[in-house]
Structure 1
Amino acid sequence: MTHPPQEEHAVHRTMVPRTKEEVENIMKRLKRIEGQVRGVQKMVEDNRYCIDILVQISAIQAALRQVGMQLLERHASHCVAKAIREGNGEQSLRELMDVIKHVSK
């Protein structure tokens, strides 16, 4: 995954830090996904049926999309809203639209 040059993310000054609870919830979900990935690795090592592996991969992708959508929603309702209040909304909205295009591919 490539990351755009840092100067393109000057909007970061509008970031609203995540609460401890938000971080814990995200980390809990990501660790669960990590466990699912390890489970798929074991399935491959055990030469399990392809369809079973593919179903698990689909579940992992759905879980990652869900985490991504939660982060996207939080970003829009906190960081973008703050940028708009501070008069930097146009740049922040452009960044939001760029990331929506990227994640929806």
Structure 2
Amino acid sequence: MAGYTHSKQDHAMRLRRIEGQVRGLQRMVEDDKYCIDILTQVSAATSALKSFSLSLLEEHLAHCVAEATQKGGPEAEAKVKEASDAIARLVRS
């Protein structure tokens, strides 16, 4: 079971809202809207994706990584490394 299973519907709803934001960006470009207005909406969509990512990461740490560290061994080390790599990618983005 994935760490986010209990909130799967909430995540799907958030992603649909983000999808709507991105489609709105496409319409803005098609309608020749002002550049700064488009950039403002890009920033909002980016922020929404980052927020979603952090929520998913928190659930991963609380469920998958915590469970693996309780068991210990190579699987725990791999899960911690995997989470650290994910955090590094988020920080760089």
Q: TM-score, normalised by structure 2?
A: 0.90
In 1, are the aligned partners of 2:14 and 2:52 still within 8 Å (CA)? yes
Higher helix share: 2
- In structure 2, list runs of 5 or more residues that go unmatched: none
Higher relative contact order (CA 8 A, sep 6+): 1
**Aligned-residue CA RMSD in angstroms?**
1.3
Q: Deviations over 1:40-82 (max 9, x none)?
A: 1111011000000000000000000000000001000110000
Identity %, equivalent residues:
47
What CA distance in whole angstroms lies between the structure 1 residues aligned with 2:2 and 2:9? 16
Q: TM-score, normalised by structure 1?
A: 0.80
In 1, are the aligned partners of 2:68 and 2:79 still within 8 Å (CA)? yes
Aligned length: 90
- In structure 1, list runs of 5 or more residues that go unmatched: 1-14
Q: Could you tell which deviates more after superposition, 45-54 or 80-89?
A: 80-89
Runs of 4+ in structure 1 off by over 6 angstroms are none
